[in-house]
């Protein structure tokens, strides 16, 4: 670890293999928390490269108890968090819309970290399991097109890193990579980040991780979701090619609304918002989900354009398909829970 730390302190980037080696060492019990803290701090001070991001992600995924590559055409639409917007659970709600439109979604997420309510908090409140086994994940994805993977459950080896991060109290590479560590091998991805400066780097990291297509977004107000408040910045990865562009909601016939209009609350409040949206209740919450689900369908390739994606997202909700995916996931959770008992 000392050699890698010295390189970082000298402002030298680590190669993909060096980062994989350093990350592998980091899981060794002989490495102290002080050494881990020094490594993460030096990496953050230098600035993380796509190779360093991809290298760490590969090792974390390898360490997971649920890594799988058996399923095809799976995507995730998770954001990094950390934007401080206190919005409702946008990507979680949009995930059911994507599934209702026929996309297989392995929704990776955690409890609340930077917001009042994380994806795990609201889904648990709705009756969805946080402890699906690997065989459950594969079965549910095939039959229902959406499953939830609770980060601490699928990455049990990450506990010591959480302690180090908490003690450091500063953003590190781990604030960027959460959505990338999904143990299910993904073909496509919609990735939200609060770091606008990292859009191209994250797109390149996704390329190195084997994504065929992905869209990395930073919303108006630096949200880690697409926003109705103004101009959204995006970087598209398509078969190795990376391009950047901006999108204003007016360009896709959606209204402009301030980010304050989509604030959320606790798990109970956010669950109610999610249900309202899937039941078709109009308003800023609904339109925000349409935008983000539409972008997800465009990222996945089901939609030929963002406008087409928004139309398909609306159909998913209005037809009841999105709500059906939620109800079936709740039913699966209940069934699995009764089998364990």
Report whether 114 belongs to an annotated binding site: yes
pLDDT value for 69: 67
Report whether 89 belongs to an annotated binding site: yes
pLDDT at 24 over 60: yes
Q: Look up residue 130 and give its DSSP letter.
A: S
Query: pLDDT, tens digit, for every residue of 180-218?
Result: 999 999 999 999 999 999 999 999 999 999 999 999 999
List, as one string, the DSSP characters of 154-197: H-GGGHHHHHHHHHH-S--THHHHGGGG-SBPPSEEEEE-S-GG
Per-residue buried b or exposed e for 41-78, using 16+ beta carbons within 10 Å of the residue's own CB: bbbbebebbbbbbbbbbbbbbebbebbbeebeebbbbb
- H or E element that contains 235: strand 232-238
Measured CA distances, 312 to 238, 239, 266, 321 (Å): 21, 23, 30, 11
Report whether 224 belongs to an annotated binding site: yes
For residues 291 and 28, the model is more confident at: 291
Q: Answer for the pair 90, 262: CB distance below 8 angstroms, yes or no.
A: yes
pLDDT at 70 over 90: no
Report whether 26 belongs to an annotated binding site: no
Query: pLDDT, tens digit, for every residue of 229-254?
Result: 999 999 999 999 999 999 999 999 99
Report whether 110 belongs to an annotated binding site: yes
State the Cα–Cα distance between residues 85 and 262, nearest whole angstrom: 9
Report whether 108 belongs to an annotated binding site: yes
The pair of structure tokens assigned to 190 is 């919609």
pLDDT value for 91: 97
pLDDT at 114 over 70: no
State the Cα–Cα distance between residues 11 and 33, nearest whole angstrom: 22
Place of tokens 């190795």: 240
pLDDT value for 115: 60
State the Cα–Cα distance between residues 254 and 195, nearest whole angstrom: 24
Put the strands of the sheet holding 241-247 in their side by side order. 146-150, 104-109, 74-76, 188-192, 213-218, 232-238, 241-247
Report whether 31 belongs to an annotated binding site: no
pLDDT at 113 over 70: no
- The pTM for the full model equals 0.95
Task: For the chain, give the percent of residues with pLDDT over 90.
Answer: 87
Report whether 107 belongs to an annotated binding site: yes
Report whether 266 belongs to an annotated binding site: no
Report whether 82 belongs to an annotated binding site: yes
pLDDT at 340 over 70: no
List, as one string, the DSSP characters of 270-311: HHHHHHHHHTT--SHHHHHHHHHHHHHHHHHTSSSSHHHHHH
Report whether 225 belongs to an annotated binding site: yes
Measured CA distances, 253 to 84, 182, 193, 287, 290 (Å): 27, 33, 24, 10, 11
pLDDT value for 83: 87
pLDDT value for 65: 78
State the Cα–Cα distance between residues 214 and 217, nearest whole angstrom: 10
Measured CA distances, 29 to 2, 26, 77 (Å): 16, 8, 33
Contacts of 321 (CB under 8 A, 6+ apart): 100, 101, 315
Report whether 83 belongs to an annotated binding site: yes
Report whether 90 belongs to an annotated binding site: yes
Q: Look up residue 249 and give its DSSP letter.
A: G
Look over the chain and give the mean of its residue pLDDT values, rounded to a whole number: 94
Domain 74-157+183-329 has CATH 3.40.1030.10: yes
Confidence of residue 112 (pLDDT cuts 50, 70, 90): confident
Report whether 279 belongs to an annotated binding site: no
State the Cα–Cα distance between residues 110 and 115, nearest whole angstrom: 11
pLDDT value for 73: 93
- H or E element that contains 98: helix 90-100
């Amino acid at each position: 670890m000392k050699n890698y730390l010295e390189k970082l302190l000298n402002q030298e980037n680590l190669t993909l293999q060096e980062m994989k080696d350093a990350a592998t060492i980091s899981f060794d019990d002989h490495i102290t928390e002080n050494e881990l803290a020094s490594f993460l701090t030096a990496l953050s001070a230098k600035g993380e490269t796509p190779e360093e991001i991809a290298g760490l992600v590969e090792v974390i995924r390898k360490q997971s108890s649920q890594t799988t590559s058996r399923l095809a055409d799976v995507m995730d639409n998770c954001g990094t968090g950390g934007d401080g917007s206190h919005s409702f659970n946008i990507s979680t709600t949009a995930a059911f819309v994507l599934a209702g439109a026929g996309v297989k979604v392995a929704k990776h997420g955690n409890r609340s970290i930077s917001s009042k309510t994380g994806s795990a908090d609201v889904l648990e409140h709705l009756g969805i399991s946080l402890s699906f086994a690997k065989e459950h994940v594969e079965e549910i994805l095939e039959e229902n097109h959406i499953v939830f993977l609770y980060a601490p459950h699928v990455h049990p080896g990450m506990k010591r890193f959480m302690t180090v991060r908490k003690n450091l109290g500063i953003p590190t590479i781990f604030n960027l990579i959460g959505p990338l560590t999904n143990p299910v091998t993904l073909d496509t991805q919609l990735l939200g980040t609060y770091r606008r400066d990292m859009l191209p780097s994250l797109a390149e990291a996704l390329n190195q991780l084997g994504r065929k297509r992905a869209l990395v977004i930073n919303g108006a107000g630096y949200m880690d979701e697409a926003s109705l408040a103004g101009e959204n910045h995006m970087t598209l990865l398509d078969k190795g090619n990376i391009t950047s562009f901006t999108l204003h909601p007016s360009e896709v016939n959606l209204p402009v609304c301030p980010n304050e209009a989509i604030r959320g609350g606790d798990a109970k409040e956010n669950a109610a918002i999610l249900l309202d949206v899937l039941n078709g209740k109009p308003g800023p919450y609904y339109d925000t989900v349409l935008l983000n689900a539409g972008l997800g369908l465009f990222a996945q390739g089901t939609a030929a354009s963002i406008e087409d994606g928004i139309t398909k997202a609306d159909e998913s909700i209005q037809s009841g398909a999105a709500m059906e995916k939620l109800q079936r996931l709740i039913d699966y959770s209940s069934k699995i829970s009764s089998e364990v008992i």
